[in-house]
Amino acid sequence: MPVTDFKVPEKYNYQNGFNSYHETEAVDGALPIGANNPQKAPLGLYNEKLSGTAFTAPRHENQQTWLYRILPASAHSPFEPRESSTYNTNPENKPHEKIHQIPNQLRWDPFDLDKSVDWVHSLHLVAGAGDPTMKSGLGIFIYAAGKDMDAQDAFYSADGDFLIVPQHGVLDIQTELGKLLVRPNEVCVIPRGVRYRVTLPEGPVRGYICELYQNHFTLPDLGPMGSNALANERDFQAPVASFDEDNDGKTTYTILSKFAGHLFAAKQNHTPFDVVAWHGNYYPYKYDLGRFNTMGSISYDHPDPSIFTVLTAQSDHPGTAIADFVIFPPRWLVQEDTFRPPWYHRNTMSEFMGLIGGQYDAKTGGGFQPAGASLHNVMSAHGPDAATHEKASTADLKPMKVGEGSMAFMFESCLMVGVTEWGLKKCAKVQSDYNAESWEPLKPRFKRPEKSSNDVSQGIEGKIGDKGQVPHWT
């Protein structure tokens, strides 16, 4: 059955559909009829527009939502730098913490849980490319938190959309547009600018984030696969309107903004979670990876990993992604005369992999573990380790289910992904023996065929020509 059996039950209601135009109201009559910006909004609310694209973006790309709230989001004090000497997730403008551009294959041990920090202060940039100030590229983060955000805090990123991949623990996310419960084997996207607060109902959390500085995530085209494959639109869930009512001026709230990688803070005397109704197509959403409809070969060879793409964000060149989110779920393999794990390859795309749980079927041993990661950058050669290659080369090729109880994923990018000082050194998780353990044990197996006397007497021309491989020449 294509759903995940979650240990923590769902507690919120949702609207279904990817990039659908939704409308929702927590109080009847809060949405205006026939107009977005009436002179007087219903119920004494304020009209506010949240734009995720330029006003003049093509209709099929345009993303915007109208909010109807108790007080506008602009009603706050000026933003001031917060923890400016310690909080920076944009190393390009922090000279003593540069981005390291290196061709080495990298693998990390599981990242530590940190019970001392909240969501905002748990964000560590591991790798990335581009610059949020230019709205280009992406950042790859690890989060590990053990505390709820303060009850009077809200956070947003002006730098990009957060694609959040939980590995451990449950995220209860209160956003301006409603609430999401996000568990391991689910993912969620919080768009640029949306304010939210994260609490941890089951204790400490850990996972991965791809922050997309450029464009927005979409579903990949299906081409010859037809209309029913991979992630289905109906399985994406958006929140319904839900609001707090605290605007008497007695409580001070803090709005935290990640802006060009720095943290800023502003104060206001009313809750930021006061959106009573909204309509539009720019909103947070989540997806159960267990519902992914896996495709594959049923004859020979196996397709490229792009066949497992859940979400993609395209560059200006069609078919070339700034970020692809790819998963490797439990699935059947039935190919004949095929080396079934990934082949050895060098790729023009960079590949950052993580493991949510279980054992990744293309690796043996304990090197690639849940909560760990690997990075194979542009043209860095990689593939199955020696033990996996030996096992797969001699396996009985009967139909088999692989990846039971496992879920690996990949953030893939056309960009050369640099590694931060934290990711390369400070986290102290890089495996120094990754290459030596994985590929140096491979032995040459080439055996030149023995020549017969008949081969010698015929000569190469006759031998090749007789087999019809190329025309005979003189």
Q: Which of 161, 142, 153 is nearest to 256 (CA)?
A: 153
Chain position carrying tokens 């720019």: 282
345 is in an annotated binding site: yes
How far is it, in rounded angstroms, from Cα 202 to Cα 204? 7
Amino acid identity of residue 468, one-letter, is G
Nearest to residue 315, comparing CAs of 380, 417, 223, 218? 218
- Tell me the CA end-to-end span of the chain in Å, nearest whole number: 64
Choose the catalytic residue: 302, 317, 376, 389: 302
Could you give the dihedral angle defined by the CA atoms of residues 31, 65, 13 and 32, in that order, rounded to the nearest 10 degrees?
Answer: 0
Contact 388, 441 (CB under 8 A): no
39 vs 439: CA distance, rounded Å:
68
Q: Is 100 annotated as a binding residue?
A: no
Would residue 302 show up in a list of annotated catalytic residues for this protein?
yes
Question: Which residue, among 82, 422, 407, 413, has the nearest Cα to 256 in the 3D structure?
Answer: 82
> Distance between CA 122 and CA 234 in Å, rounded?
32
- Tell whether residue 382 is among the known ligand binding residues: yes
Distance of alpha carbon 53 from alpha carbon 125, whole angstroms: 25
Binding residues for Fe cation: 345, 351, 382
- Catalytic residue list: 302
